[in-house]
Structure 1
Amino acid sequence: MSIAQFGKKFPILLKTPNPKGAVELIEIIGKGNYGNVYKGRLTSTNELTAVKVVLLKEEELRETLLEMEFLKSCNHKNVTKFMGLFLKGFDLWICMELCGGGALDSVYRNLRKPLNEDQICSIMFESIEGLDYIHKNSIIHRDIKAGNLFLTDNGEIKLGDFGVSAKLQHAYGRARTFIGTPYWMAPEVIMCDPESPTSYNASYNSKADIWSIGITAIEIADKNPPLSDIHPMRALTLIPTSELSLAKPKNWSKLFNEFIAICLTKDPNKRPSAEDLLKHPFLQRARNLRRNAILTDMIQKSKMGKEKSKLGIPVDDDEEFANFDEIVTEEVKNTLPPSQLQKQNSENNVQVSFYFHYRWS
């Protein structure tokens, strides 16, 4: 398909400017099958941005443009900020807020110890504030998980990757598409599977995101969502009837266990809204926490853990992180060539979220 044909089918492309002179690419910070992600700078404002460069593909363009429309309308501290759309030949340049802390799943996997409740409480509070905002604007995310929660260097949590989200006609509207990532999917979404005998009258609303945030709470506590040890299609058959919980509930507070339990209420009509969850005692304690400081510290330890893994240096406990610079600075200089050392020093650790989802429209 030619650019003219793309423009005829998607008129917005005819008004999309060329990035020349508007966006400066600094370095690659991520690669994927869809294309590359760069750290960039908007020349008009001198703001840093994450630039995803993707090849125009008709089958994916509609979802990409829909995501852009959602994000253009969003203005909240816990939602990734859309910063611009450009077109160069057949390459679409999507400029988003740069989240230097990376995706949450990358952060927790680089930590040697499980997250503690203060960290989890801070993450949940910030994430649910973002959910409350999009739900009140009639948007369902539909793919909430740690891989789609991003952190800035100053410890802010941002909802990201709205590529499969849905815009409802009104706040009480419903969706019918079977979509999401299996282990995090709510029972009512699974019932929309066209292969299911219940699909003919199945639907769901923003409460599906609440189920997913409950699964995400388990994911970041246990480093995996429930049922992750079995095939995703098998998991889909078990989720509606299984009682899902933390792997070792007794290792966690009663409030945290209760918070997860109400998120995972099977009946969506009895499941709390994001606004309701913010009043739950587990999240109320977040108001008294220094959330940004807690999450900034977590990000720094994660980055150090990543560097230690690259160097093959074992980590026994958090005390070792305190002396990280003294321990490895000379070793880094002695083992890496200058070009690689420069790359190590400038690495931004912005995580590109790779995910798969099922969709039947």
Structure 2
Amino acid sequence: MDNYKVIKRLGKGAQGAVFLVEHKQQNKQYVLKKVECNDESEANKAFMEAMALKELQHRSVCGYREFFVQWEKEESAMFVCIVMDHYKLGDLEKVLKQKRDKKENIEELIIKKWLGQIVEALVFVHKKGIIHRDLKPSNIFMKEDLSICLGDFGVATVMGDARTKTRTTVGSMNWMAPEVLEKPYDERSDVWSAGCILLEMATCGRLMKQEIAQKLFEIKNDPQVLEQVLEDIQKQKYSADLVSLIRIMLRRNFKQRPTAVELLDLPYIQDCLVLCDSELAEKKKKKQSSNQEKKPVPKDQGVPPVLSFIRENINNDGSVRDALEYLAALTKQEGITVTDDGKRLIAKAMNANLKDLHIQIAACNVLNNLIISADPDDALYSKEIIKQVYLAMKTHSAEAALQQVACSLLMAFSSNEQAAEVIGESGGIQEVLAAMRSFPGNATLVATCCNALWSLAVNEKNSKILAEEKGLQDVYNAMVTHADHVDLIEAASAAMLSLSMEDDNLEYLGNLDCVGLLLSAIETHKKEAKVVKNACMALASLVEPDEESAYKVLNNDRDGVNVAGIPIIKEVYTQHRDNAEVVENICTLFMELTEYDDICFEMKDQGVGSVLNEIHNRFSKNEVRRCTMIGHPSVSCDTVAYTGLVRKYVQMTFNLGFSLAEVDPVVSFSSSQ
């Protein structure tokens, strides 16, 4: 400390006081941070950790000049002192404040340049085994050439086993990843913090400091808050790629969040690295430029020669692209198959050329063609292949065509129970939700996403993931936005049925008035049997545990107008009285409604008894196809005798207070049957 003169105190952080000092011999200003320790042993340990910071020699990392331990008699305390470079222009927090005061956005080109430097720095420090853990705007310093560098690495961030060891948290909570307080964590926690900083840079023209702080807090608990902020960012004319990147970096489950190294595979990040003239980008470009010229694909010789061609030219993106596109056309033909080894080769080609959009689309098309005839133990259902599909989705998150074919493939994968679980554990559900959120106006894509969610949510673990991610809100939004799209409404109603079976969604379902939305869907698409049967089953699922939902079926306030549900259901019954599947689901809904005494009186007054009587007369000699989830690809439908429907009929008439003779004198069943 004798070599330095204290000029002023700059502030006090979580680990100690910070001072502006001047080196007496050099006449140069530095920042000195004093970290208080409990005793000499702790001071020695902290000193050894601090010494590791000397290895952080990188243009985008704050330089560390000197470390020493000092005993201060006045305070009776031991301090580790860290001397680091001083930046006259201040930090990113200062820049954000200036922009907020002027209500001025930061140009995306500048954001991309700074983001490239942040990612470059994180890749460097993470490879050194160091996690920052306190990354925030005030720890990102502005250099005189207006580039930035990361600084203020706390001594407790140097971790011998960064992937498994839990440390006491430090620093500000707003930018801290959700997992840091609760679980072991790794370098992906810094990616979350960088995502928060990116969000701040993209909103500084609209949100004041207190507002963004509140949003960052809420995002940790509710992904839908993030979607609201991202929607506002898009209105500020920032690119869809930037929005998608923020969504990826702010994945709440850190195991499904990319590392800084994995971020390098994203085309948007590569653009950022090029802007800041990063060596990481240059290496990628050199690798790409070294590719050989395209070679002609062997055609009209069957599948094996094409696969051999892919294997021999796997790093030649042009050749692989042509081969996969030819293979996609070839496998559309009936009887054309690919061996398991060939399927694994396709996944390997996807991985080797991850940044090539057309290769990813062609490969997914091939896999979609092949899965139609796949056996339960087919290699297509392996983690190795499934992983490549959602990696492609993450890498090309702003490309609707890729999201469409990949979501369709994930839906097909989910017919296999083990594969469905792999998709959930690996982050595939979040990729489907991200596609819905990125392209809310694309009805065809959103319908495919709803089908995928419906199929995936059959798995109980996946249903819980969807509840945590507030996926029900996305399904609800899709139904509101695309109320006239038949296929979407059919799929969304089925997805709502799946999600309604998860207890964590029940309160959310009521708040969203899903009953009103489903009644509206039935009324709008009354001629569409597939919509009516799925919507009725979803309503029955909502009514079964919740009396309030049952009352909403009878009387629903929609846009200030009271809508009675029973007349709507009676009308669609008349429309589809010959369709056993639709009638079965209408009966299921009526059955659930009759479990509530007060509702029974209203149902009786509204003529439900006559409908039940007609159903009995029409189907007394028929067989009825019954399936818990009609049309679901992973659930087989059994054909059962009419007895089941009769029992429902008898129970409903009993609940409604009719004598059986009053409704249908022919019936001789007792209510106990």
Q: CA deviation at 1:255?
A: 0.8
Q: 1:276 aligns with which of 262, 271, 293?
A: 262
8 Å contact kept, 2:20–2:31: yes
Give the letter for the 2:196 counterpart.
I
1:51 matched residue in structure 2: 31
1:215 aligned to 2:215? no
Q: Distance in 2 between matches of 1:179 and 1:88?
A: 25
Give the letter for the 2:275 counterpart.
L
Higher strand share: 1
TM-score (normalizing by structure 2): 0.34
Assess, with a 3 A threshold, how the Cα gap between structure 1 residues 88 and 187 changes in structure 2: closer, same or farther.
Answer: closer
Give the letter for the 1:215 counterpart.
C
Q: CA deviation at 1:283?
A: 2.4
SS at match of 1:269: helix
Q: Distance in 2 between matches of 1:269 and 1:119?
A: 30
Give the letter for the 1:50 counterpart.
Y
SS at match of 1:139: coil
Q: CA deviation at 1:289?
A: 3.1
- Pairwise CA RMSD: 3.4
8 Å contact kept, 1:183–1:226: no
Assess, with a 3 A threshold, how the Cα gap between structure 1 residues 79 and 176 changes in structure 2: closer, same or farther.
Answer: same
Give the letter for the 2:31 counterpart.
V
Q: 1:258 aligns with which of 232, 244, 249?
A: 244
1:80 matched residue in structure 2: 62
Give the letter for the 1:98 counterpart.
H
1:168 aligned to 2:149? no
SS at match of 1:258: helix
Give the letter for the 2:117 counterpart.
E
Assess, with a 3 A threshold, how the Cα gap between structure 1 residues 168 and 279 changes in structure 2: closer, same or farther.
Answer: same
1:96 aligned to 2:87? no
1:249 aligned to 2:233? yes
Per-residue deviation, residues 249-289 of structure 1 (Å, max 9, x unmatched): 32221010011111112332332111222332222223443
SS at match of 1:84: strand
**5+ long unaligned stretches in structure 2:** 73-78, 279-673
How many residue pairs match? The answer is: 255
Q: Percent identity between the aligned chains?
A: 24
Q: Which moved more, 1:160-169 or 1:250-259?
A: 160-169
SS at match of 2:20: strand
2:142 matched residue in structure 1: 151
SS at match of 1:85: strand
8 Å contact kept, 1:218–1:225: no
Alignment of 1:133-212 (within 5 A): 133-163=124-154, 165-170=156-161, 173-177=163-167, 179-180=169-170, 181-190=172-181, 192=182, 202-212=183-193
* Structure showing greater Rg: 2
Q: Distance in 2 between matches of 1:170 and 1:178?
A: 14
Give the letter for the 1:258 counterpart.
S
Of structures 1 and 2, the one scoring higher in RCO (CA 8 A, sep 6+) is: 1
8 Å contact kept, 2:112–2:272: yes
Give the letter for the 2:169 counterpart.
I
Q: CA deviation at 1:228?
A: 2.0
Q: Distance in 1 between matches of 2:260 and 2:29?
A: 29
Per-residue deviation, residues 270-314 of structure 1 (Å, max 9, x unmatched): 32111222332222223443689xxxxxxxxxxxxxxxxxxxxxx
1:28 aligned to 2:8? yes
Q: CA deviation at 1:185?
A: 2.2
8 Å contact kept, 2:198–2:246: yes
Q: Distance in 1 between matches of 2:80 and 2:178?
A: 36
Give the letter for the 1:28 counterpart.
K
1:325 matched residue in structure 2: none
Q: Distance in 1 between matches of 2:277 and 2:265?
A: 17
8 Å contact kept, 1:143–1:164: no
Higher helix share: 2
TM-score (normalizing by structure 1): 0.60
**5+ long unaligned stretches in structure 1:** 1-18, 193-201, 293-361
Q: Distance in 1 between matches of 2:258 and 2:210?
A: 21
Give the letter for the 1:48 counterpart.
K
Q: CA deviation at 1:170?
A: 4.7
Q: Distance in 1 between matches of 2:43 and 2:174?
A: 26
8 Å contact kept, 2:91–2:138: yes
Q: Distance in 1 between matches of 2:113 and 2:45?
A: 31
Give the letter for the 2:109 counterpart.
D
Assess, with a 3 A threshold, how the Cα gap between structure 1 residues 145 and 51 changes in structure 2: closer, same or farther.
Answer: closer
Per-residue deviation, residues 144-196 of structure 1 (Å, max 9, x unmatched): 1111111221223221122265333356x223235243222223224x1xxxx
Give the letter for the 2:89 counterpart.
G
Q: Distance in 1 between matches of 2:155 and 2:67?
A: 19
8 Å contact kept, 1:103–1:146: yes
Q: Distance in 2 between matches of 1:119 and 1:255?
A: 15
Q: Distance in 1 between matches of 2:176 and 2:17?
A: 27
Assess, with a 3 A threshold, how the Cα gap between structure 1 residues 128 and 52 changes in structure 2: closer, same or farther.
Answer: same
8 Å contact kept, 1:142–1:209: yes
Q: CA deviation at 1:138?
A: 1.2
SS at match of 2:113: helix
Q: Distance in 2 between matches of 1:144 and 1:209?
A: 7
Assess, with a 3 A threshold, how the Cα gap between structure 1 residues 229 and 55 changes in structure 2: closer, same or farther.
Answer: closer
Q: Distance in 1 between matches of 2:9 and 2:128?
A: 32
8 Å contact kept, 2:92–2:140: yes
